[in-house]
Amino acid sequence: MNTTNTLRRRWLHTLAAGLAALGATLSLGAHAQTTAPKELRIGFQKYGTLTILKARGDLDKRLAAQGISVRWTEFPAGPQLLEGLNVGSIDFGTVGEAPPIFAQAAGADLVYVANQPPAPGGEAIIVPKGSTLKSVAELKGKKVALNKGSNVHFLLVKALEKAGLKYSDVQVAFLPPADARAAFERGAVDAWVIWDPFLAAAEKQLGARQLADGRGLVANHQFYLAARPYAEKHPQVIQAAIEELAKLDRWATGNAKGVAELLAPQIGLDVAITELAASRFAYGIVPISAQVAAEQQKIADTFFELKLIPKAIRVQDALPRGVAVAQGR
């Protein structure tokens, strides 16, 4: 018990120091404007810690005491969420690894704020219950559905590479989750690359079978990003959101059932499906690090080489001031 308490105190001290540094790096120094805005507009998806935070209402209550309202907007996937950030309809949100790269290549003025630990089991390449396909190598010449610019885009690239195939060896059908599931159910595609909770739903409801998940292939980080103008003008509001997410993570760690009971009504899935998805998520939010940023740069370079983004980007340009991409990894 004493060892557990000591580790917890150390963890809390480390997180507090990181959040303090985060506030400093997001600010513009002594001249930063820290006046309270009227509103924080948050983009969220049908899963993840922001959805849980919305259900609990902790951030809304904290900011309401400062005269700041929170407006929540749901998006079907990360690329659409960051498009909302790019056009100025939201200030803050969470997405996977790939969407920020596509958004940065499109000129979005965003900043990485923090990330969750890797959760490679939370996304997979799946085939229908009756499919004869047994391996990723057998996808050659097959039609594979995925949401363009989402984390699963990079998973497919790495899985094909490991199987000795090229990205061009498969027929990629770009479909958002709802359309991809419909195509998957009627047999219009041979495989689907998808993330939780859509993955868990396909497994539980359709008997879908995994050819491969992200383990050994990708990290599958979840990132929290903000519109840079908002983050630099109101760093204290962004830091408040991160602090509330950190509290939520401490509650959620090892509590997949509790998470599922709270989250299931929010996303319209039963508790068993939601608990499976929650068990594959990783909790423990931390400020963006140079090491994780370097991993992002590798993904960005891969996408440029495959001509999936129109220009090469420097992840460094989207980091908080004072954070540099790690070199020599």
The total number of structural domains that make up the chain? 2
**Spatial distance between the Cα atoms of 99 and 87, rounded to a whole number of angstroms:** 15
User: pLDDT by residue (tens digit) across 52-106?
Assistant: 999 999 999 999 999 999 999 999 999 999 999 999 999 999 999 999 999 999 9
Same domain, 169 and 91: no
Residue 325's pLDDT is what? 78
Could you report the per-residue pLDDT of 120-140, keeping only the tens digit for each? 999 999 999 999 999 999 999
Q: What share of the chain has pLDDT > 90, as a percent?
A: 81
Q: Are residues 113 and 32 in the same domain?
A: yes
Task: Write down the pLDDT at residue 22.
Answer: 53
Work out whether the CA dihedral 310, 311, 313, 318 comes out positive or negative: negative
Mean pLDDT of the chain: 89
Rounded-to-integer distance, Cα 159 and Cα 175, Å? 19
Q: Which of 194, 213, 232 is the last residue of a domain?
A: 213
Percent of the chain with pLDDT over 70: 88
Nearest to 233 by CA among 107, 91, 104: 91
For residues 16 and 97, membership in a common domain is answered with yes
User: Is the confidence at residue 23, as pLDDT, over 90?
Assistant: no
Which among 178, 213, 248 is the end of a domain? 213
Please check whether residues 110 and 233 belong to one and the same domain.
yes
189 and 288 housed in the same domain: no
Answer with the one of 184, 213, 242 that is the final residue of a domain.
213
What does the chain come to in residues?
329
- The pLDDT tens digits for 299-315 are 999 999 999 999 999 99
Whether 172 is covered by a domain: the verdict is yes
Q: How far is CA 184 from CA 33, 155, 165, 181, 212, in A?
A: 50, 18, 22, 5, 17
Range of the domain at 43: 2-118+221-318
pLDDT at 323: 75
Residues 304 and 253 in one domain: yes
Residue 321 clears pLDDT 90, i.e. is over it:
no
- Reply yes or no on whether the pLDDT at 297 is more than 80: yes
